Each structure stands twice: as C-alpha cells, then as structure tokens.
Structure 1
C-alpha cells in the first residue's frame, strides 16, 4: 500500500453497508423496539518505519465480559463525553495510554450493532508521533499492533461458527500470529477492508 492514509481517507468517502454481529446470521430474529447503548472504538492507525500498523488490545482474562478477547480500544459513551469521537479518544487514553492530541481523526464508519446490546461507532484516526503504549491495569492484558496491510485484505477473513445461546452463530475471524481476532472487532475491520477495495 503506497499511501495508507490517502487510501483510508478515500475509503471513508465510499458508500458503506450497515454493520452488525448478525450480518452472517439472517435467521436470528432481533426483538422489535430494542434499546441499544451507545459506544465507540478507535481504529488507531500508527505509521511506523516498517509500515502502518493498527493498535489493538487483548482484554484481561479475569473480566466478566469478553475475557481474553482481542478488541479495539474503546467503550461505552459516558454522560460527560462530547459525542462518540470524544468517547473513542478518552477510552484509548485510558486503555492504552494514547494521548488524544496525537490522534488526527479522519472520520467514522457505520455504527456496528453487537449481540450484547451496544451500537458501536468506529472512529478512524492517525497517530502523529511516538508514544509508549501502556495497558490499563485490571482491564487490558496486552497492547499490540498488527500490520494494516494484513487487515485490509478481504480474502484473509474467514467465516467461522460457534454455539451462542443454543444456536450456531457465524462470524468473521482474521487471525494474526498468536492473536485470534474475531466477532465485532473482525466485522468492523472487514467493513473497512471492503470499503478500501471499493
């Protein structure tokens, strides 16, 4: 990828389909009138000497929800947040030690509905300069990066399945080394990859 920033900024201008944990499971009937809680995550693209990389986290194994899973930095919108972009930047500072002033926000992707009742807005931003990632004690076990080029190839995403609430649920997965990236995180990344490919 010659210029990842230009590529991603152009991708944001292309039409995008809605995003949901249920995309691959059309037989699942969602309850009418359901109330979704707003949340946001940051797709933090970090230019490095060996190419652009995306910052991801591994959640602590003792957590009640999604223990040990790979995630984008983010969380639910707090009352004091000034919108989803502010949420993504605040959560990234808390979870990985990324100073908000180092993030050049390019825009947002379509909100993603999760099986846990959230509507998650992915915020795309570019990290300007260096910082030392610092995992949040108690919530984040590890902060790591993945080459952006690995995540922007739709053919690297597999469709797998597992039992969830007594039903087989299909989902996207894109493993990288020892990391198994799947579920909502993989679906959001697949949506970005699709837009990059046009």
Structure 2
C-alpha cells in the first residue's frame, strides 16, 4: 500500500467512531482476558502510550516495531511498538509516546505529524492502560535503537498485515499449565501477538473505515 493512500485512509477512518473492542478482539488470545475491557481498572494501574509511526519507504507505507531484549519480566523478548510508562513530566499520553519513541528508537518529536489517538487497551499482565498514538513522518527516520530497551528495530510494511500467509495461529503454553489459543502476525520471522496484535487489528479496521 502506498504511503499517500494509507495516510488518506487513516485520516478518513479516524473521522468515524473508533472500532475499539470489536476490532481488538479479532486478534485477542483465547480464552479472552476480559479484564482488558473492564471499565473499572485496578486502583494501582499505570498509564502508558505507544507510537504507531507511518513513514514512506520506496513510496510504500511502513512503521517500526521493536523487539524487547530478554529480561526478567512479562514482556521479555516480545515484539512491541516504541513506547512505555507515562512520567510525571509528561503532559499527556501523546507526550509520553513521543518521548519514548525518541528515547527508544531515536525518532525526533518534531519529525512526527500527529493523526490522533486510538482506543486504549488495558494489559493485565503488566497493569498498564496503554494509549496508542498514531502519527506519520514525511521521511524515513534515522532509527537508533537504545540497546538496553531495544534488541532490534523491525521496519514493517503496512501491506504485510494484509497478507494471509503472515496471519497465523498457535497454542502458547505457559509454565503454570495455562494455554492460550493465539492469533498473531508473523513479521520478519517474529511473532507479533497480544496487545500489539490487538492494536494492529484496530489500525486495520480504521483503514477499512476510511474506505467508506
């Protein structure tokens, strides 16, 4: 999909009500953890934000994903968007997303043109309410991974998300004998699942809404 068409569809799609839960559920692991959609969140939940940054690469629309390094934590080694926890100095989730993208992958905030915010999604495993922020850059950013937080940057074509061969499903087994029937996108031979896949699912629905 070419960059101009994707931007046009997103801007039109964002004029419609956000698809939210309905789109997110399409890529949710099963059984669904309905705490993700509970209007009453834990009192101690934390707020965070991620940046979905579209940019042109040979006229096609791309966005960066990152692979987290291996560490002692629930998201060790997983694929995610640049993003993280809201800090006291952040005025809102947009500032959080821009700051984190600068710190993690070297995207200058001034380089980002904002489109808007997508639906929030609660992540029970880490107790975060995440706001995806949608934006674009007119040029390919000069990505620089922050080694402690990013093991690699995956430049991902939007068109990949539409390819049936890159949409897969598998059973994930965890140490406590808990199993999840998990839809995912395969990107650069990596498994993009969970909250990241659910956010991408809403992005795809926003693009579809832009065709109306």
**Fold agreement, TM-score > 0.5:** yes
Distance 1:190 1:197 in 2: 11
Aligned residues of 2:28 and 2:194 also touching (Cα < 8 A) = no
Superposed CA deviations along residues 86-118 of structure 1, whole A, max 9, x for unmatched, are 000000000000000000010011001113211
Aligned residues of 1:109 and 1:122 also touching (Cα < 8 A) = yes
Aligned to 1:148: 158
Distance 2:83 2:41 in 1: 26
Distance 1:26 1:169, change over 3 A: closer
Q: TM (normalized to structure 1)?
A: 0.87
Matched, 1:178 2:180: no
Matched, 1:108 2:117: yes
Q: How many residue pairs get matched?
A: 197
Q: CA deviation at 1:130?
A: 4.1
Q: CA deviation at 1:27?
A: 6.2
Distance 2:67 2:203 in 1: 21
Distance 1:162 1:108, change over 3 A: same
Superposed CA deviations along residues 124-172 of structure 1, whole A, max 9, x for unmatched, are 0001334321110211111120111112x28553343323554332333
Matched, 1:133 2:143: yes
Q: Match of 1:82, SS? A: coil
Q: Match of 1:88, SS? A: helix
Q: Match of 1:39, SS? A: strand
Q: CA deviation at 1:57?
A: 0.7
Aligned residues of 1:160 and 1:170 also touching (Cα < 8 A) = yes
* Alignment counterpart, residue 124 of structure 1, candidates 124, 130, 134: 134
Distance 1:39 1:54 in 2: 19
Distance 1:33 1:178, change over 3 A: closer
Aligned to 2:7: 5
Which structure 1 residue ranges, 4+ long, deviate > 6 Å from structure 2? none
Aligned to 1:88: 97
Distance 1:25 1:52, change over 3 A: same
